[in-house]
Structure 1
C-alpha cells in the first residue's frame, strides 16, 4: 500500500480538520472583509452590509474549492456539487459565529473602516469562528463528508 493510500484509510486527525477549516476561513475572510469594506464605504446599513458579506463569503469559499477540483480534472457541474457538499455546513457555521460575534460586540456594527474596532472585531470574530468550526470539520471528515470528499478528488 502506498503512503497516500495508507493516509486516506486512516481516521482523520485534527490536522486535517485544521487544514480544511483554514481553507474555509480563507474564502470566508475574503468575502467578509470585501463585503464589510464595500458596504461600509458605500454607507450601507448594517443589515445590507452583513448580507453582502455573507453572500461574498459563500461565493469565495465555494470558489476556492471549485478551483481545486476543476484543476483536478472534474467537470463544472460535478465540481459544483462537490463544493456545495464540502463547504456549505463549514461556511454556514463560520458565518453564524463570525457575524454573531460582531453583532454582539459593543459598537462593532457602527465602526468605520478607519477605526481599530472595525478591524479588531472582524479579526477576532473570524478567529473565534475558526476555533468553533474546526470540530465541525473534523466531525464531517470523519464521516467521509465535507473536505474528505474534496481530498478524494484531489487524490485521483
Structure 2
C-alpha cells in the first residue's frame, strides 16, 4: 500500500516537476525561478490527482481539498526535497539543457531515490492512520 501511495504521489510530482523544468529551461529562466516553478507544479499536480480521485468518490470540494492536503503534503514535500537536493548537488545538472543526458539522468535519478526514501515514510504514516491512509476510505 505504501509503495502504491508513493507511486501515486511520484506521478503527480514528476509531471509537475518535469513540466516546470521544461518551461523554465525553454524560457531561459534562472535556476531558482525554474526550481520554484517546478516544485510548485509538483505540489499542484500531486494534490490534483488525489483531489480528482476523492471528488470522483463523492466528496464535496472543501472536504476533498482537506483530504488531499492531509494525504499528500508530507509525501510531496519529502519527495521534492530529496529530488531537488539530488539535482542541486549533481555537478552540472543545474546548468544542463533539455537535450542533455545529464539533465534527464539527474532528474530521473532523483525521482528514483525520492521514491526509495519516501516509501518507508509513507508506510510509517499509513500505519498510524496518517498520510494516504485518509484517502483509502474513499477508494
TM-score, normalising length: structure 1: 0.88
Measure the CA separation in 1 of the matches of 2:16 and 2:55: 21
The answer as to 2:77 corresponding to 1:92 is yes
Aligned to 1:68: 53
> What pairs with 1:20-99 in structure 2 (closer than 5 Å)?
20-99=5-84
2:130 aligned with 1:145: yes
- Residue 122 (structure 1) shift: 0.5
Establish whether residue 101 from structure 1 lines up as the match of residue 73 from structure 2: no
- 1:152: how far off? 1.0
Q: Equivalent residue for 2:111?
A: 126
Deviations 1:63-110 (A, max 9, x none): 000010000000000000000000000000000000000000000000
Measured on the aligned residues, the alpha-carbon RMSD in Å equals: 0.5
Q: Tell me how far apart the structure 2 counterparts of residues 87 and 26 of structure 1 sit (CA, whole Å).
A: 12
Q: TM-score, normalised by structure 2?
A: 0.99
Unaligned runs of 5+ in 2: none
Structure whose alpha-carbon radius of gyration is higher: 1
Query: What is the count of residue pairs matched by the alignment?
Result: 139
Runs of 4+ in 1 over 2 A off after TM superposition: none
